[in-house]
Amino acid sequence: MSRNAKAATTKAAAKPAAKRKGGKYQMPDPLPNGEILTDLCKKQWKLGPSIGKGGFGEIYSATEVASQGKNSYVIKIEPKENGPLFVEMHFFMKVCKADDIDKWMSSNKIKFLGLPRFVGNGSHQHNGKPYRFVVMEKFGKNLDSVLKENNNVLDKEFIFKIALQVLDALEYIHSRGYVHADVKGGNLLLGLKKGSEDKIYLVDFGLASKYSSEYKPDPKCAHNGTIEFTSRDAHVGATTRRGDLEILGYNMLRWFTARLPWEDKLTDCVYVQQEKLKFMNDIPGQIQKCFGSQPVPEALTKYFQYVALMAPTASPDYDLCRSIFQEGLKAGRKPQITSPKGDHKPAKNSVSKETKNANKLETTDIQTVERKRRSPVKAVNNEKKRVTENVTEDSKPSRPMRAARNHVANGYVPESDSFSDDSDDFLPEASPKQKQTVKRRSNDKNKGSPKKKRQ
C-alpha cells in the first residue's frame, strides 16, 4: 500500500475529538490494581498502583504478565479521544526504537543515551470507555524534585553533567528530524536501575514535531511550550533545533540562580518574549544581573553567545557545545574531587582544531564572527521582528494549557493505533492547520537527574 493510500486509510478512521469543558482534557477513570492490558503485540501487562497524573492521563507502574517480575515498567493511559498521548506514542514508534538508539550510540561511540526505549502500546476498554496506552521503561524522580530538595539550585559540576547528557539526547532527536521543544526539570528523570541512578533521561514528547529546512514563523502557534523556558523561535511560532539548545540554556541559568529574569510575569507571553530578546542581545550584562555578586560561569556565557549567533535553520555544532560544557565541568569541579568513573568524555579526536579554538572565543571574537555573517543574521532578525509585531494579545492564551499537536490539534484523533512504520503522517511538519498554541506553566509532575560517558 502506498503512503498516500495509508494516509487516506488513517483519515478515514479518524473521528472528531470530544469537546472538553473549559479547554481541559478528559481524565481517565481510576483503573483497579491488577487490571490486565493487552498491547498490539499481544503482550499482557498487569497494572500496579498509580504513580502520577498529568494534564491528560494517568501513569501506573506495571509488570509484564509473562515475566512475573517487579514493576519495572510504567503505563501511560488516557481517554482515546484526547490526543496528546497519540502524538507521543507515535513519536516513540518512529524515534525511540531500541535498535535505532543502539545503532546511533555505536556509530557515535556513546555508552549511554538518556532516552526511554519504546516498549509497547495498545487500546483498552474499562467500564465501556475506550482508552489508549503506551508502555515505557520506569525511571526515578524528576529533576524538579531534586531542585526542591536543594533550595532550587544545583551544584555547578552537576549542572554541566546534566547539560552534557541532555545535549546528546537532543542531538539524537535532531538526527531523526525532530525537535523536543519542552526540555525542563519535570521532563528530566533519574535512572532507577542499578548503575543508572546518576543518569538523566529526557522524556515527554507531547510537543515533539518535525523541523523544517526553512524558517517559518507562524503567529498562530506563537509562544508554544513551557513559557519560562521556551525559545525566541517558539515565541514566534517557528520550530528549530537552535530553539532546543536555547531552552536548555534557560534551564541551566535557572538551575544556577533559582530564578529567571522574566518569571514575575509568566502570564504575559509577549512580555516574556521581549525579555528574552533583551537577554540574548546583551548576554554578559544580563547574566551578571542574574548572578548578582556571584561569579558567572564563563562556559554558560559562551554557550549562550554561541546560540545567539546561530542561524535559525543551522545544524548545531554539538561538538563545540560539548567542549564548552566540558570546560564548565572542569572549572566547577572541586580540586579534591578526582575524576569519577563514568564522567562524560568527548570522543577521542572528535573535536577539530577549529572547534577547540572556537571554544576560546571571547565576546569581541564572537562579535567579529557576527560581522562576517551579518547579512543573513540581519535578514533573519528583520523577519523575526516583523512576525513578532504581528503577535498581539489576541494570540495569547486565556490561561496556560497544553494540547495535542499537528493533525490531532485540528480536532481529529485516529481511532486506530496501527500506523505504518514508514509513514510520517502522525507527526507532520508544523503548519498553521497542524499546530495548536500551547502555553503552560512548568508544574508537570514527572521525574529526573544526571551523569554521562562518551569515549
Sequence-ordered list of residues with C-beta below 8 angstroms from that of 178, at least 6 positions apart, any chain: 91, 95, 208, 209, 210, 211, 427
Q: How far apart are CA 170 and CA 144, in angstroms?
A: 20
- Of 144, 168, 182, 233, which residue is the catalytic one? 182
Helix, strand, coil proportions of the chain in percent (round to 5)? Answer: 40, 15, 45
Cα 108 from chain centre: 21
* DSSP three-state, residue 343: coil
- Per DSSP bridges, beta strands 14-16 and 412-414 are antiparallel
Return the number of other C-beta atoms located less than 10 Å from residue 48's C-beta.
19
* DSSP three-state, residue 236: coil
Buried b (16+ CB within 10 A) or exposed e, 118-143: bbbbbbbeeeeeebbbbbbbbbbbbb
Query: Any idea how long the chain is?
Result: 455
Q: Is 76 annotated as a binding residue?
A: yes
Max Cα distance, the chain (Å): 66
Sequence-ordered list of residues with C-beta below 8 angstroms from that of 48, at least 6 positions apart, any chain: 33, 60, 61, 62, 63, 71
- 182 part of the active site: yes
Q: How far apart are CA 289 and CA 214, in angstroms?
A: 35
Place of cell 551578571: 288
Binding residues, as ranges, are 76
Binding residues for ATP, as ranges, are 76
Catalytic residues, by residue number, are 182
